[in-house]
Amino acid sequence: MAGRDPIKKHIIRNSVTPKEFLIEFMRCGRETEVPKVKFSGFPCDASKAADIADPLCQWIKDARICPGYQLIDPSKSFSFANNEDHMKHLLLFPTGLDFWQSPADSCDEDESSEDLERLIEHVATQFNRQHRTHAFSLVIFGRYARFLRWDRAACVVSNSFDYHNSPKWLVHFLWRFSIFSRAKRGFDPTATDATPSEVRAFKAAVRKFIKTAPRNADFLMPSLEDDYPVYKVEVESSNGEKMHVVIGKPFHGYKRPTCGGRGTRAYAAYLPSEKRVVCLKDFWRPGCPDYPSEAEVYQHLQDHDVPNLPTVLAAGDVSVGDRCQLTRNQRHRDIWGFIHQRIVQQIAFPLHTAKSSRELIQVFRDVVACMSRAYSSAQVLHQDISEANVMITGEGRGILNDWDSSWRKTAESPESKGRVGTWRFLSIHFCKNPFKTHEIHDDLESCFWVLIWMAVRYVKSVRLWRCFSWDLFDKSEVYRLREVDGKPVADLKDGRKHEVGGLLKEFFIGHEGMHQLAWRCHPFHTLLYDLRDLFGYLYGVIRKNDEHKPDYVQESKSHHEFFSNPKNLVEIFDDALSEDGWLENDTVPNMFPYNTTQEWEDYMMRCRYRAMDRPAREGSQGTEIITEDESEAPATVTQYPITFPPEAEEEEEVVKLVRRSTRVRKVVKDRLNSIETGKPGKRKRMNNDQDGSEHDIVRPKTRRRKGET
């Protein structure tokens, strides 16, 4: 999603008075013990943060309103701490403990400026390093102050008050916080510090797993970082069984896990009872009836024998006693709250660890089969197909993970309406219409976009996309829209802001877009173009007079009928996997490890200028070969040569590759002649290390349908 900070819209300002804030969120039975203090000698009209920070620290120390705690300015002790005049970040933590050696006992911030961006960064760091249900903040600006409470639903901000005229509210806030238990201060009681022996066992098990894993497991390396605390957490299944695992730093998770989101984090977890490494998923699920618990979804799918699911060892809501951990701040705005949940499952590997294009296609075949059975038998839609949720097992088979956004058809909820999922991989229909009803073909199309995303970045190409652009996946505009008869209508006054896009995706699946891509492995190349044609006919962006019109277009009454049965797509994948000509080890490191289109274009421009001064290399006449420069390219950039055809030849003289599939294309009558000889080309075999060109693509053997002679 572009152009907006999703956290800021969940900041609820001026919703309560300081007294109401203390009564609702910091109720305490020891108010009579609060000391009476005055602000004599305290600056009234300070213009700089430093003018407030030092007197405030000294005043809290002298007044003894925080028994057992001390307030310090970290900028005087740590070189990396913020030391800007417009803002100070003060730390309140137990007296006699080193904050950095015991981060689990660290406390909340005291801010001296209403710089929201910086404040969010501080709180996000706190939520990221600690296991919390909520957090408190105190913002002081001049002679005024505010109280803040953060949780996954929202941030409640009190009205500002003059702490010189009404010091009791500030005193009550600090006093109550200091006498609170750890749970009331926001720490999760189900997560405790691991013992030294547990820490050693955890790191030894993770190192062994990384070394002996059947495929690259370097993504678990963050778990071994020594500057991150190690915890022992409790996971309770729905049947009441409890499991304890030891975790370190998450290998996947949001960097700003504060309010307004699920805060999903994935950990390498050591299971002491079985002495093995598993995966822990920690997140906050929406407390909405339309979104069932992911633990319940997994149980429902297993009851219907849905294949290619992750192996779940334990799953359930996090509870203390007989009460689940719930958010509270949603009470101040008409939004859904969140419920804390944890899931323990066997470790699966990221999609980029696939060893070949065939293995990549096998993964997507398994994922589509999983979606097909879940939709037909269990009446469940996944609704969030993305690069992170399509995973691969150690044996090279695909699994569909993360069903926390899924929808289950019930009598109360017969349709899943509204946009859900990752914007980058949403279907064209959903990009255009945020009010659309979610259907199975939306998930199938998301699979196609994830496959294109992986193919462009990780599979060896004959010709890379000259104008590779993140805009294809990320481009969007924000409009005020309202729903009229299920369609978006612009409304500048009453409508809500929504992301709208999809035009570049629609152009891509037409004949004018994807023709710039070509892969070395012919069956892989053929399948991707056939899938492009399927969705191109669905949206009507491929010419109706195409002589290679797929059979199903002529036989089916509606394109939606074809996609309403995902088994049709499974058969297409099976046909492609049965072909000859698949290459081994034709995947490469990420060729586009850039965050934006501009970063990629700037890098390629530097490569072109350097290539002008290099001697000509072997290749097609007029072909420019650009190689990566280790001094400027990121460490993850492949050294595989990047070849671009001359611009003048792109439209007319570059060979158009033969693309066929017995399932979706008729037998081509006229074979393709080569440009040089004008005769049918001979089949050639390529070594994996051989530079590819347009002439290296081979013609597949003609496959006949059953019954043909």
CATH of the domain at 45: 3.90.1570
Return the pLDDT at 437: 87
One domain, residues 140 and 26: yes
- Report yes or no on 277 lying in a domain: yes
220-275 per-position pLDDT tens digit: 999 999 888 999 999 987 777 889 999 999 998 766 556 767 888 999 999 998 99
Q: Tell me how many domains the chain contains.
A: 2
- Report yes or no on 487 lying in a domain: no
CA–CA distance, 191 with 520 (Å, rounded to integer)? 50
DSSP letters spanning 516-577: G-EESSHHHHHHHHHHHHHHHHHHT-S-TT-TT--HHHHH-S-HHHHHTSTHHHHHHHHHHH
β-bridge partners, 324:
319
* Contact predicate 250/191, CB 8 Å: no
One domain, residues 228 and 274: yes
One domain, residues 155 and 196: no
- Report yes or no on 284 lying in a domain: yes
Domain-ending residue, one of 328, 347, 366: 347
**Mean pLDDT to the nearest integer, 125-149:** 86
- Percent of the chain residues topping a pLDDT of 70: 67
Decide: helix, strand or coil at residue 379: coil
- Report yes or no on 196 lying in a domain: yes
The confidence band for 46, taking pLDDT boundaries of 50, 70 and 90, is low
Q: How far is CA 700 from the centre of its chain?
A: 38
CA–CA distance, 145 with 166 (Å, rounded to integer)? 10
The 477-484 sheet, strands edge to edge: 487-490, 477-484, 496-500
What's the token pair of residue 435? Answer: 């009010």
Domain-ending residue, one of 314, 347, 380: 347
CA–CA distance, 555 with 558 (Å, rounded to integer)? 9
The terminus-to-terminus CA distance of the chain in angstroms comes to 53
One domain, residues 223 and 304: yes
- Report yes or no on 451 lying in a domain: no
> 């965050």: which residue's tokens?
595
Return the pLDDT at 665: 40
In terms of Cα–Cα distance, which of 121, 154, 160, 153 is closest to 138? 160
Decide: helix, strand or coil at residue 398: strand
Return the pLDDT at 111: 47
88-97, Cβ contacts within 8 angstroms, sequence gap of 24 or more = 88/49, 88/50, 88/52, 88/53, 88/112, 88/113, 89/118, 89/122, 90/53, 90/56, 90/57, 92/66, 92/177, 93/69, 94/68, 94/69, 94/70, 95/68, 95/69, 95/70
One domain, residues 243 and 334: yes
- Asked whether residue 351 carries a pLDDT value surpassing 60, the answer given is yes
In terms of Cα–Cα distance, which of 185, 255, 264 is closest to 422? 264
In terms of Cα–Cα distance, which of 253, 281, 12 is closest to 151? 12
One domain, residues 181 and 196: no
Q: Which bin fits 50, alpha (ψ -120 to 50), beta or left (φ > 0)?
A: alpha
One domain, residues 74 and 179: yes
428-432, Cβ contacts within 8 angstroms, sequence gap of 24 or more = 428/502, 428/505, 428/506, 428/509, 428/535, 428/539, 429/502, 430/502, 431/476, 431/499, 431/500, 431/501, 431/502, 431/505, 432/488, 432/500, 432/501, 432/502
One domain, residues 211 and 323: yes
CA–CA distance, 471 with 2 (Å, rounded to integer)? 10
CA–CA distance, 88 with 86 (Å, rounded to integer)? 7
* Contact predicate 136/177, CB 8 Å: yes
The confidence band for 478, taking pLDDT boundaries of 50, 70 and 90, is confident
- Report yes or no on 301 lying in a domain: yes
In terms of Cα–Cα distance, which of 695, 682, 515 is closest to 623? 695
One domain, residues 201 and 343: yes
One domain, residues 172 and 233: no
The confidence band for 340, taking pLDDT boundaries of 50, 70 and 90, is very high
CA–CA distance, 62 with 51 (Å, rounded to integer)? 18
Return the pLDDT at 235: 93
387-398 per-position pLDDT tens digit: 999 999 999 999
* Contact predicate 63/69, CB 8 Å: no
- Report yes or no on 60 lying in a domain: yes
DSSP letters spanning 97-129: S-TTT-GGG---EEESS--HHHHHHHHHHHHHH
435-445 per-position pLDDT tens digit: 888 889 999 99
The confidence band for 115, taking pLDDT boundaries of 50, 70 and 90, is low
| Mean pLDDT, the chain, whole residue set | 75
- For residue 240, the enclosing domain spans 188-347
- Report yes or no on 614 lying in a domain: no
Domain-ending residue, one of 331, 347, 363: 347
* Contact predicate 181/320, CB 8 Å: no
Among the listed ranges 233-242, 582-591, 656-665, which one has the minimum average pLDDT value?
A: 656-665
One domain, residues 283 and 340: yes
CB count within 10 Å of CB 222 equals 16
One domain, residues 222 and 264: yes
For residue 442, the one-letter residue type is: D
